[in-house]
Amino acid sequence: MSRVGKNPVSVPQGVTCLLNGQEIKIKGKNGELSALASKEVQVTCENNEILVRPIDESKQARMLWGTWKNRIKNMVQGVHEGFTIRLDINGVGYRAAVEGNALKLQLGYSHDILYPIPQGIKISCEKPTAIAIFGADRQRVGQVAAEIRAYRKPEPYKGKGIKYDNEHIVRKEGKKK
C-alpha cells in the first residue's frame, strides 16, 4: 500500500479544482495548471481535499498511485505559492541580466548568450551573479534552471560556472610542483 498516495491533498483557500473524467484543472492566483491523469488511478475532489485511489490492485496502478498524488500536490502548491529555484554564477566577468523577454548571460565565451524566457516563467536577477527562476509548474521551473545551468556547468578546480544555490561543488586539488 502506498504511504504517499493514501493521504489526501488539501486544497487551500483561493484554489479551485475541476475534474472532468481523468482531466484535472487547478486554478489559483499564480495561474492554471491541467493534467490528464493515468487510467490506473481514480481522482475525486470533495470537502477541499483531493483523493487519489488506484483502480485495481495491479502493480502498475499501485506504482502510479503515489506518483499522481505528488503531481497533484505539486500542481496545487504551484498555483497557490509557486516554485523558485535560485542559481549562483561564479567566475571573473561572469554575469546575467534580464533584457526584455530574454536572459542575457556573459559566461566567458566570445559572445553573449540570449536565453528566451518561456511563457509562464519569471526570471529575475537580484545581483549580476544571482538568478531567481519562478513559476507555477515545478517541472518547467526545474527544466529552465537545468537549461541555464547547462550553458556553463561548474568546474571542479576553481568552481567557475553556474550552480544551484544549495549545490555543493566537490573541489579537486590542482597541479603540484
Q: Are residues 73 and 103 in the same domain?
A: no
pTM tops 0.85, yes or no: yes
pLDDT at 5 over 90: no
Residue type, 120: G
Q: Are residues 104 and 141 in the same domain?
A: yes
Provide the number of structural domains found in the chain: 2
End-of-domain residue from the set 80, 114, 143: 80
Torsion of CA 165, 120, 8, 4, to 10 degrees: -40
Residue 174 domain flag: no
Q: Are residues 25 and 94 in the same domain?
A: no
Rounded Cα distance between 176 and 28, Å, is 58
Chain centroid to Cα 76, Å, comes to 13
Going by pLDDT thresholds of 50, 70 and 90, the confidence category of residue 86 is very high
Q: Are residues 68 and 127 in the same domain?
A: no
pLDDT at 1 over 80: no
Q: Is the dihedral of CA 59, 65, 68, 74 positive or negative?
A: negative
Kindly state the average pLDDT of the residues 87-109: 94
Identify the domain containing residue 74 by its residue range. Answer: 9-80
CATH of the domain at 157: 3.90.930.12
**pLDDT tens, 14-70?**
999 999 988 999 999 999 999 999 999 999 998 899 999 999 989 999 889 989 999
Place of cell 487547478: 26
pLDDT at 2 over 70: no
What is the number of other CB atoms lying within 10 angstroms of the CB of residue 47? 8
With left for phi above 0 and alpha for psi between -120 and 50, is residue 102 left, alpha or beta? beta
Q: SS3 of 151, please?
A: coil
**pLDDT tens, 103-151?**
999 999 999 999 999 999 999 999 999 999 999 999 999 999 999 999 9
List % helix, strand, coil for the chain (3-state, nearest 5): 20, 40, 40
Whole-Å CA distances, 104 to 21, 107, 116, 128, 163: 43, 10, 9, 10, 17
Is the Cβ–Cβ distance between 48 and 11 less than 8 Å? yes
Q: Are residues 75 and 106 in the same domain?
A: no
Q: Are residues 40 and 64 in the same domain?
A: yes
